[in-house]
Amino acid sequence: MTGGKLIVFSAPSGSGKTTIVQHLLKQEILNLDFSISATSREPRKGEIHGKDYYYISLKQFKQHIKNSDFLEWEEVYRDNFYGTLKTEVDRIWAKGKNVIFDIDVVGGLRIKKKYPVETLSVFVKPPSVDELKIRLKKRKTESEEKINMRIAKASVELATAPQFDFIIENIDLEVALKEAEVLVENYINKSDE
């Protein structure tokens, strides 16, 4: 694999990283394309196969693991597997674009470790765990049990923040979006020199 840059956004669920990543994808100057992960979880209402995720069965997922098809993979929640297929990065680099990832902290750090020079790793920090709970409840995409599972994981994830290249505190979304834009633009421009 050779080519463009890898931009990793990781954060606890509900931190706003997906909103930030979607905003960055709209900035043509950044020349980004989204790394579509494979997952064994069920699609949520409105999600599209081949756009949000590649929705595959647990059996298919395990076969990909066996075949070493993943750049990284993780059982993010029990029986919910998520992973980045190597072909996904090849597909985007072949188009001459930079790859942007919306993945969990373990996967994000793994990519940084594999490609230390090509990767910018960014952690999106929510104002507090309480605020995270409020946001997840508002989103209404998960059951109470799943929200609690995500909150329990968030505290562990927050502890990994110092291992990332940058931390963006998502207190005010507009500020966080601008900060992310400048950060990624500087990184891409700097590495083009």
**C-beta separation of 13 from 138 below 8 A:** no
Output the smallest distance, CB 138 to ligand 5GP, in A: 14
Q: Is 102 in the site for ligand 5GP (CB under 6 A)?
A: yes
- In the complex, the smallest distance separating the C-beta of residue 37 from ligand 5GP, rounded to whole angstroms, is 3
14 binds ligand 5GP (CB under 6 A): no
Closest to 106 in 3D by CA, of 131, 123, 120:
123
Decide if residue 107 touches ligand 5GP (CB under 6 A): yes
Which of 36, 37, 111, 42 minimizes the C-alpha distance to 79?
A: 42
The CB-side HSE value for 120 (13 A sphere, CA atoms) comes to 23
Closer Cβ to ligand 5GP, 84 or 170, answer by number: 84
Contact pick of 8, 74, 121, 132 for ligand 5GP (by CB under 6 A): 74
121 binds ligand 5GP (CB under 6 A): no
Is residue 33 a contact residue for ligand 5GP (CB under 6 A)? no
Alpha carbon separation from 104 to 2, 3, 11, 95, 174 (Å, rounded): 24, 23, 6, 25, 23
Task: Report, in Å, the least distance between residue 172 CB and ligand 5GP.
Answer: 22
Angle formed at CA 16 by CA 176 and CA 44, multiple of 5 degrees: 155
Using CB under 6 A as the binding rule, whether residue 8 contacts ligand 5GP is answered as no
| 82 contributes a contact to ligand 5GP by CB under 6 A | yes
We find the least distance from the C-beta atom of residue 22 to ligand 5GP, in angstroms, to be: 13
Pick 103 or 158: Cβ nearer ligand 5GP: 103
CA-closest candidate to residue 106, choices 153, 51, 63? 153
Number of residues that bind ligand 5GP (CB under 6 A): 14
Terminal C-alpha separation, the chain: 21
Q: Which residue has the tokens 């329990």?
A: 152
Q: Contact positions toward ligand 5GP, by CB under 6 A? A: 13, 37, 41, 72, 74, 76, 82-84, 102-104, 106-107
